[in-house]
Amino acid sequence: MSEHTIYLDHAATTPLDRRVLDAMMPYLTNEYGNASSIYALGRRAMQAIDGAREQVASIINCRPTEISFVGCGSESDNLAIKGIAFASQKKGKHIITSSVEHHAVLHTCQYLERFGFTTTYLPVDEYGRVHPDDVARAITDQTVLVSLMYANNEIGTIEPIEEIGRICRERKVPLHVDAVQAGGALPIDVKALNADLLSLSAHKFYGPKGVGMIYVRQGVRILPQLQGGSQERGRRAGTENVAGIVGAAEALRLAQEELPEVTPRVRALRDQLIEGVLTIPRSRLTGHPTDRLPNNASFAFEGVEGESILLSLDLYGIAASTGSACTSGSVEPSHVLVALGLSPAWQRGSLRLTLGKENTREDVEKVLSVLPGVVEKVRNLGE
Ligand code: PLP
């Protein structure tokens, strides 16, 4: 029905910014040296990586030596959590996280449980927020890490990280912040957040896929999780993805520089979407009404399968997402919606619309013109 895709899934990934591709291009073509080689071609590759590192460090307010480049956001989360856990097991084997984290965090904690670690999965309120007092109460003398997300990938809720960070500092427990969804949408200042470790992923802010970043505060010891050469000062073996690293740094610079222009524009589109979608009968917003990512509009519809809405929207050329995952034919509700306490009749009908800087008012109007009919049709088929 439509040739042009209205892309409303920027929390899944974003298109590569043309300016980022331009910055990467030399390292995809003529400047192909291995950064470990000592001749000029290799040295230029190393200089490019060092420049990218300095750029990222100055943006997130840390030293270049505190930044390492890795293979994706998931790897960054894995390295932070396993890296701390295995380095600190003499002190204790207790980790604190929340029930609404990304699987890159949840499954890593579950993996560590096989090695004798225990995890506290903190509950959240109806908006998906962790309460700082719950963090304080959960910390014991065995706790070696608190790992919490800055902003939720499904419902967009922003967590009170600064306050949680203050508590962790006081109690001398390192805090890892999964800032993968926040990197392109909120200012990132590791000192203001009181973060000891922080994870970012370039493809969430118009950078290339397959490049992650990790901040590790000086003095915080982690064990590398990939053995081999001594790249990234021994923190992550493997020949560096020079073009990807240059692209990641440029994408972060552009995203953060353009926040003052992009944020109000995208937020206005989001609010228009929310207002329009909530006129649909038996619909509700999921996530916090105001403390949410400026680009995230997520909903639940009672008595509807989210997957069916997605497939119908796809016919209109609209790309969106649902929190539900289809496993062996049955649709499992997302762990995030379950944690919010949504009743089963609402859990399966989730729809996430995440805007980007290239979306327009026409895109929003198109969605609002088709979505009510889609929900009604799908609901009538199912009930
Ligand atoms: N953490 C959060 C909150 C995410 O949203 C994602 C990706 O969706 C990840 C981690 C994993 O990032 P990547 O896709 O780069 O592995």
Give just the sign of the alpha carbon dihedral 340, 346, 349, 355: negative
For the chain, residues with pLDDT lower than 50 are 1
- Residue 180 near residue 102 (C-beta atoms within 8 A): yes
Q: What is the pLDDT of residue 333?
A: 86
Nearest-angstrom CA–CA distance, 66 and 43: 21
Looking at the chain, list the stretches that DSSP marks H as alpha helix, in order from N- to C-terminal side: 18-28, 40-60, 73-87, 103-113, 132-138, 161-171, 190-193, 242-257, 259-277, 306-315, 335-340, 344-347, 361-382
Q: Is the CB of 321 under 6 A from ligand 1?
A: no
Provide the whole-model pTM: 0.97
Task: Note the residue count of the chain.
Answer: 383
Q: Is the CB of 120 under 6 A from ligand 1?
A: no
Q: Which of 109, 180, 205, 252 to mutate to test the pocket of ligand 1 (most atoms within 8 A of CB)?
A: 180
Q: Is the CB of 74 under 6 A from ligand 1?
A: yes
74 CA: nearest ligand 1 atom: 16
Q: Is the CB of 73 under 6 A from ligand 1?
A: yes
Q: What is the pLDDT of residue 328?
A: 55
180 Cα to the center of ligand 1, angstroms: 6
**For ligand 1, atom 12: residue with the closest CA:** 73
Q: Is the CB of 176 under 6 A from ligand 1?
A: no
Q: What is the pLDDT of residue 277?
A: 98
Which 3 state secondary structure label does DSSP give 39? coil
Q: What is the pLDDT of residue 159?
A: 98
Tokens of 75: 């790897």
The residue annotated as part of the active site, out of 72, 109, 168, 326, is: 326
Nearest-angstrom CA–CA distance, 45 and 27: 8
Q: What is the pLDDT of residue 327?
A: 55
Domains within the chain, CATH numbers bracketed: 6-15+258-382 (3.90.1150.10), 18-257 (3.40.640.10)
- For residue 60, give the nearest of 325, 253, 347 by alpha carbon: 253
pLDDT tens-digit series, residues 86-112:
999 999 999 999 999 999 999 999 999
313 Cα to the center of ligand 1, angstroms: 24
Check if 326 is active-site.
yes
Q: Is the CB of 72 under 6 A from ligand 1?
A: yes
pLDDT tens-digit series, residues 331-364:
688 999 999 999 988 999 999 999 999 999 999 9
Q: Is the CB of 76 under 6 A from ligand 1?
A: no
Nearest-angstrom CA–CA distance, 108 and 80: 10
78 Cα to the center of ligand 1, angstroms: 11
